[in-house]
Structure 1
Amino acid sequence: MTAPSTDGMIHARRRDSDTKRARVRTTLHQMLEAGTPITFASVARQAQVSTWLVYAPGVREKIESARTQQNNETPAPRHDREHSRGLETDLALARAEITRLRAERDQQQQQLRHALGARMDNLAKADLLARVDELTRHNHELATVAEQHRTDNQRLQAWVTELEDDLTAARTSLRRMIRADNLHTEN
């Protein structure tokens, strides 16, 4: 028999799992209602769960069923094209976010330069040394912000690579499924 604290942890884990699965079901319903194309990645992102969970037994079937329902409601291109479009959309969104972050960083740096330049013009020479120290601190802060933007950029580029890998894996899986279905049909 397990200790009471272990039972509590197991119960909490099950409750967390049930909550996440319920979020997936709610997200699927909302996506069907809105006519949003359903992909495993989009469901995971909108439900704020791991991609592992959407492929888990019980959840995967619900997503596949929703996709089938959605495909039956509206004529759509082949399955792999729809999945590719979803991944291409994700990729385009990631690239747009990278571009937006870069523009935001550049704009903030430019605004800071203008503000600091205006302040420098108004300072007396006696205050310049203190101001240089303050500007050095601001420069370090800007370097930190720039590094954060670089990190965000790298993270988003890694995401793009992951999405491309997912697309390749999905295509390979689809080919295998088609090949297996053809072999099964021939037998």
Structure 2
Amino acid sequence: MRADNSQHIVEAARRRSEYTRSKAVQALRALDAAGEPVTFETVAKQAGVSRSWLYAQPDLRAEIEQLRAVQRRAPRSSVPARQRASDASLRRRLETANERIQRLTDENRQLRAHLAGALGEQRAARSHTSPRGAASMHEGVDIADPVQPQQPIREREQ
């Protein structure tokens, strides 16, 4: 009587099935990560399996159909589905950006007020110490009494 070798055949079939499944899953992930269209045909071609085998695998079939539906709603998105931002994430980013804009607006307002005060103090100090009284400095040019001729700044400093 011959030895029963059927267990080896069953084990080989199970390993082949696992290998085929892993190739299909890898192809599915690679297509999604690359932003390529995920269809039964593209997955089958990339994995080297038949489309009918993919249709017969309920979990793979559901995932392919789900990704295909997402791609139809958002055509030609180069971002993989698992990396796309959720609505809640986008809302939180918008809230954070709005809060930062408000803080910067407040800081800008405070700095403008501080600058205006400092320039006012500087102008007041200059008008009290200026020999001409009404003269003020603006960007390195004296705006003085129109009756007196103006000299270049370098000549006045000497």
TM (norm. structure 1) is 0.35
Bigger relative contact order, structure 1 or 2, given CA contacts below 8 A and separation 6+? 1
The answer to which structure has the higher helix fraction is 1
Work out which of the two has the higher radius of gyration on C-alpha atoms and give 1 or 2. Answer: 2
